[in-house]
Chain A
Amino acid sequence: MTVTRSNVLINSVARERYVRGVTLLKAEFTGPTTADLGIAGPSRPVSTYDLFVVWHHTAMSTMTPPTQDDRNAAHRGPVFCPWHRFMLYQLELNFQRVLDDDTFGLPYWDWAADGQQSAARQRRSALWNARTLGGSGNPVRTGPFRYNAGDPTSFRVRIDADVNGQLVQRDRGLRRSLGSQIATLPRKSDTAGTLGLTPYDTEPWSTSSAGFRNRLEGWAPPAAPALHNRVHVWVGGDMLPSSSPNDPVFYLNHCNVDRIWEAWLDRNGRRYLPLQSASVSLRGHRINDHMSSLISASMRPSDVLDMRSIYVYDSLAV
C-alpha cells in the first residue's frame, strides 16, 4: 500500500498519530540495553525510539573513510539524502507497527513556509503551541513532550551525546531554544533554489561540493548554516548535538528534507552520484554501497531512489 506523507500543520490526524507513535516507541523496550551498546553507567533497557538516537549518532561518528575528518556515514557527503530516507522509512514502518495502522505516513514540517513570516511569528508558529509539539524550554514544559519530574511517564531524554561525542545516560526533559542561535528559518526562495541545481553531488563529495546535496544539507552558500542545517540550529537545544533525534521535530524536519529531494528527483530524474565505479575512498556513499544500519538490514542508495510505490507526498511544492 502506498501511504501519503502530509503537512503536519494541515493534517491533524497525521499530527495526532505522530505524537501517539512517538509516545508508544518511547515506551517500547525490545531487549537491547545501554550495556549492550557500550554506554557507561548502570545497564538499562533502551527504548525503540532511543535506538534511533543511537543509530543516528553512531552513523555520524563513523568517518568515511577513517583517514579524513569531513565526510561521515550519514552527513557531509552524498549519502546524506539516501541515509536519512532509509532512517525515515524504518521509523515509518515502526510507527505503522505500534499504531497498528499500515496507512500511516510520516508528516513533514514545511519550515520554509514558516520562514516566510517575520522572525517573531516564526517562533509563534502553530507547530510550537501546546496542541502540537510544545515550545521552547529547558526543559520544555508545554505540549505532548513536556517534562514533569514527578511523572515518570512524561517525556524524557534518556540518552544523548556529551561534549566529547560519547553517548551517555540522562534523565531530563527535552530542551529547545527557538530562534536563539539564529533568528530565522530558511525561506521558499532557498528551497526552490535547490531544485535546478545539478548534479546531485560532485567532487570533492564533502562540505565543499557544488551541486544539490550540499546545498540542501546546508553547507553551501548562501549564508551557512542554510536549509537543513539552519533548521537544526534555529530549533536549538537538543537539535544541536549528534543525538538530535531526541527531539521529535527532528523527523518532521527530515521528512521535509526528503520531500525536497523527492521534488528534485521528480524534476531531474532518479539519478544519484557517485556511481559504484567511483573510488573505494567513497565507500559508504556510492550508489550500491550498504548504508550504516542498526535496527534492520541495511539498504543501498539505489534501493531508495524511487520510493513511490511505498510513499508519496501530498505536495511537492517545496
Chain B
Amino acid sequence: MPAKRTAMPPTAASIASYVERNAAHVKQTQQHRHHAADSLREATYQGHHIVVRTHYEIEVDGRSLIGHMGVTNDGHVHYHPVPNMSFASAIDLVKELINIFPDDFTKKTSRRKRGARRKK
C-alpha cells in the first residue's frame, strides 16, 4: 500500500508560512522552567499498589538547573536536554551535564591549599 499522503514540495514561502503558524508552540516550550522535578512512579505487585514520589532540586555552584528531569521505574534518572542517555544517579547526571554543556559552566581553576605561599 503506497503512502496515503505525500508532502507538498516545500518552497521558501511555504517554510516561512508554516513556521509563522507554529512559532507560538516553539515560544511556549522556551518558557518551560522546572525549578524542581517531581516524579511519580507506580507499580502493582501481588495485588498491592505501590506509589513512589520523588522530588529533585538541583543546583550547581548555587545556581538551579531548570531543565525537565524524570525518574523511570527502574530508578534511572533522565534529563530532557540530554535525550539519549539515562543515568544511575542524579549526581552522575549532573557530572555529565558539566561535561556536555561547557558553555554553561565556567571552568573552575584549582585552589591553592590553605596556608601555601606564592613563590616569589
- In the docked arrangement, what's the CA distance between A240 and B10, Å? 29
B86 to A219, Cβ gap below 8 A? yes
Choose, from B45-53, B70-78, B106-114, the stretch at the interface.
Answer: B70-78
Cβ of A199 < 8 Å from any Cβ of B?
no
Cβ of A224 < 8 Å from any Cβ of B?
yes
Number of interface residues of B (CB under 8 A): 54
Number of interface residues of A (CB under 8 A): 68
B82 to A38, Cβ gap below 8 A? no
Cβ of A142 < 8 Å from any Cβ of B?
no
B2 to A163, Cβ gap below 8 A? no
- In the docked arrangement, what's the CA distance between A211 and B19, Å? 35
B26 to A306, Cβ gap below 8 A? no
Choose, from A12-20, A87-95, A106-114, A118-126, the stretch at the interface.
Answer: A87-95
Q: Which residues of B (13-54) have their CB < 8 Å from a CB of A?
A: 13-16, 18-20, 22-23, 25-27, 29-33, 37, 39
Q: State which of B10, B12, B31, B65 has its C-beta within 8 Å of the C-beta of A296.
A: B10
- In the docked arrangement, what's the CA distance between A31 and B20, Å? 9
Given contacts A229-B85, A270-B1, contact A297 B18 (CB under 8 A): yes
A294 to B4, Cβ gap below 8 A? no
Chain B neighbourhood of A78, CB < 8 A:
none
- In the docked arrangement, what's the CA distance between A206 and B97, Å? 23
Interchain Cβ contacts within 8 Å, total number: 173
B69 to A58, Cβ gap below 8 A? no
Q: How far is the CB of B66 from chain A (nearest CB, A)?
A: 5
B12 to A30, Cβ gap below 8 A? yes
B26 to A38, Cβ gap below 8 A? yes
A residues contacting B by CB (< 8 A) are 28, 30-32, 36-39, 48, 51, 54, 57-58, 60-63, 69-70, 72, 75-76, 89-90, 93-94, 96-97, 161-167, 170, 172, 206-208, 218-219, 224-225, 228-229, 232-233, 240-242, 244, 270, 293-297, 299, 302-310
In the assembled complex, 19 residue pairs joining A and B whose CB atoms fall closer than 8 Å, in A order, are A32-B19, A38-B27, A58-B29, A61-B32, A97-B10, A161-B81, A162-B104, A164-B65, A167-B26, A167-B30, A206-B72, A207-B86, A229-B84, A241-B82, A294-B19, A294-B26, A303-B4, A305-B1, A306-B1
B residues contacting A by CB (< 8 A) are 1-16, 18-20, 22-23, 25-27, 29-33, 37, 39, 65-70, 72-74, 78, 80-86, 97, 100-101, 103-105
